Structure formats: structure tokens, C-alpha cells
């Protein structure tokens, strides 16, 4: 299968059970506290005030109640019933690659569909933003309570027409996305993250300042370990081309070192910014790994299934 199948993406809705985008515990802090997770961040509503307990986040102290009672009190928040959930999908030509299982583009579409259906089933507003080989290089579907944005995303993901052969860098897309998304949104950014631009960290930080962000990396086993297959040409979002002779041992080793450096940079970016992270592969079941990754994010807060932690998953 060269392109995502519209019928399959529609039917994925029946398989989205278990893909949860909400937290199941009361959150003490909107930003930090005893439960740090992209699934609660903003999009919370005030619930009650209680007495301060040692270890609580002092930034959530209700100073009016504290002054009135003479004892420190804390504001508690619970999950808002509705928020905007957005999916950003890398549709560059580099995503149409796969040596095992299927193409990265197809797995990315499946992950986007699972998240989209989960958002709809949880009564959230859903929107999507696709960049790369799409009309005008970028296409944004604003969050809606209806399923219209979901259908439009499916149609464009399955479109076989070539709109834009020129790669679009993730950092450029994020600059556009940061101006378009509603404040307090939950954003899932899906791609292979093979091309980490110089301004990517700043763009992610700017986006994370107004929304909760989860990165979902979709990779093929060959992304990090080249097998002998002659000469391969890789293209990046900055119009760069890398030519590797996989039959040359030194060339392959140099590529693998570059891949490890890329993953290290990505891992450090996720840690320093406090983003959520899930790793998917072309030769593994998307639904299973997505559910496990999102559960892990809710459990440990912030990072989910990190790139180092799941590096052996593709073997």
C-alpha cells in the first residue's frame, strides 16, 4: 500500500478505544505540581479550595482565602470537559519510506486517525494541520466540535496528487502553527524528526508556551541502521540532500553516528522543554504502541516512550 486508505482511517474509529487523551486524576497545578502531564496542562477548570499541605506548589495558593482565614489555602483544578485537540502531520516526500511493515506516511496517518477519533469520542474539538506535499505546502483545519476536520484530514492524507515537491521544514510549520492554534490546545506533532533545524527548539518552546505538546516519532528500522542496498539519497526539510553508499562500511558508520546524534538532540529537546514523546515504528502495531506511550506519559508526566527507551522496539 503506497498511500493511506480512506476506508481504513474511517474504520479506525472502532479501534480507538483505549486511546485516552485525558488525565484520570485531579490536578493540583495548572503548570506544575503533583501531576505533570500534557493531558491536563491548560484546559482545566477551577474545582475547589483546600488547606495548603507541605509539598504543594506555592504558585497555586489562593491569597484571598489565605488572607481571610489566616491559613494558607490552595486552588484545585479538574479536567475541563472540552478542549481543542490538534494533530500536525508531516506529509513531506521523505515520509513515503519503509523497508519493513509499511511506509512511515501510512503509520503517521493511522496514528493521526486514532488520535482524531479519540478526541471526537471524548467530546473535544478536533483540528489538524498538514505540511509538506499538500496544497500550498501547509493546510490547517481549525478545531471543531463536529467531525468535519476529521474527514478533511482523512481526505488529504489519502490524496495521491502531488501538490508540493519542495520539502517544508518542521520549524517553519511550527512558526505558522503557533499563530493558528487556540491557546490551551493539546497538540500532537507526528513525523520522523529526521531533520532537526537550528530554530526547532525555539519554535517548540514558543508553541509549548501556549499549548501542550506531544511529539510522536514514526521511524523505519532503516532510519538508524542502514542495510546494504547500494546508493540511497535522503532529502531534508532544508532542501539538503544526503547521498549514502550503503555498501561502503565507513559511509554506513558515519550515517549511523549521525542518526545517534539526531536522536540524542531530540531526546534532550524533549527533556529540557518537558514535552510528551511517543515512538512508533513502521513494523509495529500503531494502536498498541500509541496506547502504551500515552499511558506512560500520564504515569510519569511529560515524557512518554522516549527514543532511547524504545530503540530496541524495532528489532
Q: Rounded CA gap, 286 and 290, in Å? A: 6
Lowest average pLDDT, out of 88-97, 228-237, 273-282, 303-312, goes to 303-312
Instruction: Judge whether 51 and 73 are in contact, CB under 8 Å.
Output: yes
- The predicted pLDDT at position 27 comes to 36
pLDDT (mean) for 96-123:
94
Digit-coded pLDDT (tens) for 200-252:
999 999 999 989 999 999 999 888 776 665 666 555 544 555 566 666 677 67
- Contacts of residue 134, Cβ cutoff 8 Å, sequence gap at least 6: 91, 156, 159, 163, 164
Q: Rounded CA gap, 198 and 193, in Å? A: 13
Q: Does 150 score more than 70 pLDDT?
A: yes
The pLDDT mean for the chain works out to: 81
Q: How confident is the model at residue 99 (pLDDT cuts 50, 70, 90)?
A: confident
Q: How confident is the model at residue 311 (pLDDT cuts 50, 70, 90)?
A: very low
Tell me which residue of 138, 241, 125, 244 sits closest to 186, measured CA to CA. Answer: 125
Q: How confident is the model at residue 125 (pLDDT cuts 50, 70, 90)?
A: very high
Digit-coded pLDDT (tens) for 259-280:
899 999 999 999 999 999 999 9
- Contacts of residue 270, Cβ cutoff 8 Å, sequence gap at least 6: 215, 277, 303, 306, 307
Q: Which domains does the chain have, with CATH numbers?
A: 22-81 (no CATH), 82-314 (3.40.50.410)
Percent of the chain with pLDDT over 90: 48
Q: Does 145 score more than 60 pLDDT?
A: yes
- The predicted pLDDT at position 230 comes to 63
- The predicted pLDDT at position 30 comes to 30
Q: Rounded CA gap, 279 and 263, in Å? A: 11
Digit-coded pLDDT (tens) for 103-112:
999 999 999 9
Q: Residue 205 is placed in which grid cell?
A: 518552546
Amino acid at each position: 500500500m503506497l498511500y493511506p486508505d480512506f476506508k481504513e482511517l474511517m474504520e479506525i474509529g472502532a479501534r480507538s478505544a483505549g486511546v485516552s487523551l485525558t488525565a484520570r486524576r485531579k490536578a493540583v497545578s495548572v503548570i506544575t505540581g503533583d501531576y505533570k502531564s500534557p493531558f491536563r496542562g491548560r484546559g482545566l477548570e477551577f474545582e475547589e479550595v483546600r488547606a495548603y499541605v507541605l509539598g504543594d506548589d506555592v504558585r497555586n495558593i489562593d491569597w484571598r482565602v489565605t488572607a481571610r482565614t489566616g491559613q494558607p489555602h490552595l486552588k484545585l483544578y479538574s479536567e475541563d470537559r472540552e478542549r481543542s485537540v490538534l494533530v500536525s502531520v508531516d506529509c513531506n516526500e521523505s515520509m513515503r519510506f519503509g523497508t519493513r511493515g509499511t511506509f512511515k506516511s501510512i503509520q503517521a496517518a493511522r496514528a493521526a486517525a486514532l488520535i482524531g477519533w479519540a478526541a471526537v469520542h471524548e467530546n473535544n474539538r478536533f483540528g489538524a494541520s498538514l505540511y509538506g506535499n499538500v496544497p500550498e505546502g501547509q493546510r490547517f483545519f481549525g478545531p471543531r466540535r463536529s467531525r468535519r476536520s476529521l474527514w478533511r484530514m482523512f481526505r488529504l492524507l489519502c490524496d495521491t496528487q502531488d501538490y508540493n515537491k519542495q520539502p517544508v521544514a518542521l520549524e517553519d510549520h511550527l512558526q505558522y502553527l503557533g499563530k493558528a492554534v487556540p491557546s490551551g490546545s493539546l497538540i500532537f506533532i507526528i513525523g520522523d524528526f529526521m531533520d532537526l533545524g537550528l530554530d526547532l527548539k525555539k519554535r517548540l518552546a514558543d508553541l509549548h508556551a501556549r499549548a501542550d505538546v506531544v511529539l510522536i516519532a514514526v521511524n523505519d528500522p532503516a532510519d538508524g541502521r542502514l542495510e546494504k542496498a547500494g546508493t540511497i539519497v535522503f532529502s531534508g526539510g532544508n532542501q539538503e540532500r544526503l547521498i549514502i553508499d550503503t555498501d561502503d562500511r565507513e559511509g554506513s558508520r558515519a550515517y549511523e553516528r549521525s542518526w545517534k546524534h539526531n536522536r540524542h538532540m531530540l531526546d534532550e529537546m524533549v527533556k529540557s522543554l518537558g514535552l510528551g514523546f511517543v515512538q512508533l515504528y513502521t513494523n509495529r502495531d500503531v494502536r498498541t504502541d500509541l496506547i502504551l506511550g500515552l499511558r506512560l506519559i500520564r504515569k510519569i508526566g511529560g515524557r512518554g516512550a522516549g527514543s532511547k527507551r524504545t530503540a530496541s522496539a524495532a528489532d
